[in-house]
Amino acid sequence: MLKLLRFKTNGHLSDLPDAIHSSIVSGVPGIPGPTTLEALIEIEERFRLAADAAGIGTWDWDIASGGVHLSERTYALHGLGDIGFSGTYDAYLKLIHPTDREDFANGIVRAIQDTTDLDVEYRIMLPAGGIRWVEARGSVRFDAAGNAVRMLGMGIDITKRKRTEAALRFLADSAELLGASLDYETVLQRVAELAVPALADWCAVDLVDPDGTIRRLAVTHADPAKSEIAQKFKEYVPDRRKSEPLIHVLRSARSILEPDLPDSTLVAAALDDNHLRMMRELQFRSVMIVPLLTLERTLGALTLMSGESGRRYDEADLAIAEDLAKRASLAINNAALYRESRESAEKLRRANAAKDEFLGLVSHELKTPITTILGNAELLEKRAGLLDEESQSEALADVRTDAERLNRVIDNLLVLARIEGGEEIEAEPLSLLPLSKRICDEHARRHEGRDIVLRADTDMALVSAHQDHVELVLRNLLNNAEKYSCRTMPIELDLAAGSDHVFVSVLDRGVGIPDDEIEAVFTAFYRSSRTPADQQGFGIGLAVCKRLVEAQGGEIWARRREGGGCEFGFSLPAYDEAA
């Protein structure tokens, strides 16, 4: 009787002929006593209303004939509309996503063989495009011989639930992967790899440098065959002068969602014809662009595109993309903080090493002359009566020499500290020629046998400088030439007049200086690897010269001389009385 009703009514009791309406049906579970056909119709109507309210569609499969009947709700669930359905099992299989067809068929087989209920989840392909998740449950009916003859079932749209589950899994995985690296470029590459294919067919990550330059760090495509095309997009850095969507996101720090990407947007974003051709070849259909933000600035943007999959982005997809962008931004910020902490730790290590080296050098530079002074003072104090006049003179000369050396070290340290502290130098009109002559004479007296040649232009102008500081520069440069030049060759000091500057050069015929060390010699505490270990000095004299000259508006330089030796020179601005 049930089989007859199903066949005659195509599943709807209300379609029965009037002649059958007066029939009495008994034994309907849950309905006490005889039940009229009108009562059954009312029960069916109530079930239909409940199923519609719950979004449940029903289906009925006649296993023997292969015929499948779908309710109106199931029609709508599958997006069939006016397309229709041929009503066969094979036709229904074609509605299922190819990846899930085998799982669905296996579920049917298990339900029949094990006489259990069907419970399976699968994706269906909508005729208009897109994917929908369905949860199907069914019950098998068997005849007296135990043969499966019918399966009744229902299906419900679980797309929203599956999307939520997938989003939670995706974001959980992303948190783990993004936190696994403290290199921000690696983090951004992983963002692109995470997004494809979970959220997009194509993904690009763009970063904005502090100077405003846009760099495309990562491009990924779901189809390996199209990866080469996708990688070419790295060459097409967005133009900040154009009003394309990416630039708008970077400027506004707000996301953009284009569910249906018009070709006009591609045309507006294309940098040239080849760029437009590639975008069309990748079949861009829907796009999301979300900013990568920190509290201070916009780091960049994440661009997600759907193509061949036909996926159409909506607000739920955008929420996931923005959540991913927040996690990526946090990971990038953590990577930046880690890098800064490492750099700070390295700077501190270098500073401590420099401090230790400085203290060692200073202690050596101070201890050596102090030892000489104390030794000679003790000698003169205890044995003065036993020393001849020449020996006493030599002891006193040693005391004077090392006292002067000690004084220079202290002067250099004090001057360097004041300049590094930002102390301004008060300039005054100064004549370089008499000052230079006096400094040269003093140097020659301290270094017996050293010839110094002083040359000067006849029209030397006054310079605008501080006398004490210029003296210190000249003494340091002459002492530097003294240490590294041959004793039999003279040291030369040239003064030359320029249009608005005066130029001073100290020249020697010593060991010279390698080209790769010319800039380094003006760095504080720098000692060349070619400097003999027993050579005095700890690399501060030239650094002081550089800071003093530049603080007075001049420039300093060093260069090799043809034929050997070095030239260390500096310039000072000519004194302008009117100014």
223-270: pLDDT as tens digits: 877 777 777 777 777 766 666 788 889 889 999 999 988 888 888 778
Assess if residue 409 is contained within a domain: no
pLDDT at 527 over 80: no
Q: What local confidence, expressed as pLDDT, does residue 87 receive? A: 87
- The string of pLDDT tens digits covering residues 55-102 is 788 889 999 888 999 988 888 888 887 677 888 999 999 999 999 999
pLDDT at 26 over 80: no
What is the pLDDT confidence band of residue 44, given thresholds at 50, 70 and 90?
low
Between 387 and 255, whose confidence is greater? 255
Mean pLDDT of the chain: 80
Domain containing 70 — which CATH number? 3.30.450.20
Between 262 and 30, whose confidence is greater? 262
Domain final residue pick, 336, 366, 385: 336
Q: What local confidence, expressed as pLDDT, does residue 177 receive? A: 67
Least confident of 279-288, 386-395, 519-528: 519-528
Residues 133, 254, single domain; the answer is: no
Between 421 and 376, whose confidence is greater? 376
- The string of pLDDT tens digits covering residues 435-447 is 999 999 989 888 8
Please give the share of the chain, as a percent, with pLDDT higher than 70.
Answer: 80
Top-ranked range on mean pLDDT: pick from 183-192, 242-251, 373-382, 502-511: 502-511
In angstroms, the CA 24 to CA 54 distance is 31
Residues 324, 301, single domain; the answer is: yes
Over range 265-278, report the average pLDDT: 82
CA contacts within 13 A on the Cβ side of 543: 20
Which residue spans within 270-344 are E strands per DSSP? 286-293, 298-306
- The string of pLDDT tens digits covering residues 451-508 is 999 999 888 889 999 888 898 899 889 988 988 888 889 999 999 998 899 999 999 9
Assess if residue 370 is contained within a domain: no
Torsion angle of the four alpha carbons 511, 517, 521, 523, in this order, in degrees rounded to the nearest 10: -160
Assess if residue 316 is contained within a domain: yes
pLDDT at 31 over 60: no
Residues 16, 108, single domain; the answer is: yes
Least confident of 157-161, 211-215, 364-368, 388-392: 364-368
Q: The domain containing residue 500 runs over which residues?
A: 422-573
Residues 50, 130, single domain; the answer is: yes
Cβ atoms 120, 93 nearer than 8 A: no
Over range 185-214, report the average pLDDT: 82
Least confident of 33-42, 151-160, 169-178, 553-562: 33-42
Domain containing 242 — which CATH number? 3.30.450.40
Residues 199, 129, single domain; the answer is: no
Residues 139, 188, single domain; the answer is: no
Q: What local confidence, expressed as pLDDT, does residue 295 receive? A: 77
Residues 168, 147, single domain; the answer is: no
Residues 135, 168, single domain; the answer is: no
Domain containing 463 — which CATH number? 3.30.565.10
Residues 145, 180, single domain; the answer is: no
Domain final residue pick, 336, 353, 371: 336
Least confident of 310-314, 341-345, 383-387, 555-559: 383-387
Domain final residue pick, 268, 301, 336: 336
Assess if residue 234 is contained within a domain: yes
What is the pLDDT confidence band of residue 430, given thresholds at 50, 70 and 90?
very high
Assess if residue 369 is contained within a domain: no
Assess if residue 26 is contained within a domain: yes
Distance (Å) of CA 539 to CA 154, 265, 409, 522, 523: 88, 63, 11, 8, 8
Q: Number of structural domains, the chain?
A: 3
Assess if residue 502 is contained within a domain: yes
Residues 65, 214, single domain; the answer is: no
Q: What local confidence, expressed as pLDDT, does residue 398 receive? A: 79
Number of H helices, E strands in the chain: 17, 19
What is the pLDDT confidence band of residue 416, given thresholds at 50, 70 and 90?
low
3-state secondary structure 449-470: CCCEEEEECCCCCCEEECHHHH
Whole-model pTM?
0.48
Both tokens assigned to 132 = 């929908």
Residues 448, 475, single domain; the answer is: yes
For the four alpha carbons of 352, 354, 355 and 356, in that order, the dihedral sign comes to positive
Residues 446, 306, single domain; the answer is: no
